[in-house]
Amino acid sequence: MGSDLVRIGTRSSALARWQADWIRAKLQELRPGLRCAIMPISTAGDRILDRSLPEIGGKGVFTQELEAALASGEIDLAVHSLKDLPVESPPELTLGAVAEREDPRDVLVSARYATLHELPRGSRVGTSSPRRASQLLALRPDLALASLRGNVDTRIRKALEGEYDAIVLAAAGLVRLGRASAVSSYFGFGEMLPAPGQGALAVQCRAGDEAVLDLLGPVDHRPTRVAVAAERAFLRALGGGCSAPIAALGGFDGLTVALEGLVAARDGTALVRVRGSGADPEELGERLALEALGKGGRELLA
């Protein structure tokens, strides 16, 4: 970081740019006169669109290139959707801020049907997430699930043009891009538990960069950071990434952390749900992960 210039690394999609611009605006609001340069960086997850995420590596496909640029000093911070960020971080990098979370729910987008239950038997539903797929099949085992890749606008267009009868997306991305009007319905958490970190923005920086860490301090939203710490501890203890059907949602009221976690069979025939609360988010996430493994989660993840 120069005396008055911060280089912000981001993926190049419209949603990623929105997220980077939002962080830039927050930083400039906190420190008037600060100059920020947005530096788009291409990732494997953006380049390879003809295969599912688990096929091309799962963990880190949207973050590895950004982390490399950060470690080399090419950029000063990187903005990620937290759910894309692997739970194991390189030792030279740290999570400088977790911004306040947007709506963590998943949504259904369809040109013809208002809810999942209105879809005819055998309807083609687009998702590339094993977590979403398993929960969809638990609700509607008759559905025909199909891979769905591309940016948010591309996915919505495919749904509205009838390539799919419906698709499932994260509410946060549609809200941020001003596309909430495309939502047909929102899933309740009892129907579709979100990915760990869904809806939250992560700002990564170098571990020893005190100037950037100081700059990011006011951006950090403690209730969100504590909640997602529990979710990510649950994921870490299960050894999972985006290739595993694992879901978690935490909450923090200033004193107590609450967490609900889920481990699912890929075909939706079995779901293991766990719930608990505690004072320490890391301990809570690990404790509920062990509980889930003991209730059958180990067999589901094998």
Q: Which of 38, 179, 45 is nearest to 102 (CA)?
A: 179
Q: Is 269 helix (H, G, I), strand (E, B) or coil?
A: coil
Helix, strand and coil in the chain, % to nearest 5: 40, 25, 40
- Scan for tokens 């280089």, then name that residue: 7
What's the token pair of residue 27?
A: 């930083």
- To which residue do tokens 């499932």 refer? 168
Which tokens is 30 given?
A: 């906190």
Tokens of 165: 């009868």
Largest CA distance in the chain: 61
Query: How many angstroms from the chain centroid is the CA of residue 250?
Result: 13
Gap between the Cα atoms of 111 and 229, Å rounded: 37
Beta strands 124-126 and 166-170: pairing type?
parallel
Separation of alpha carbons 20 and 255, rounded Å: 31
Among residues 46, 76, 84, 106, the one annotated as catalytic is 84
Does the active-site annotation cover 84?
yes
The residues annotated with a catalytic role in the active site are 84
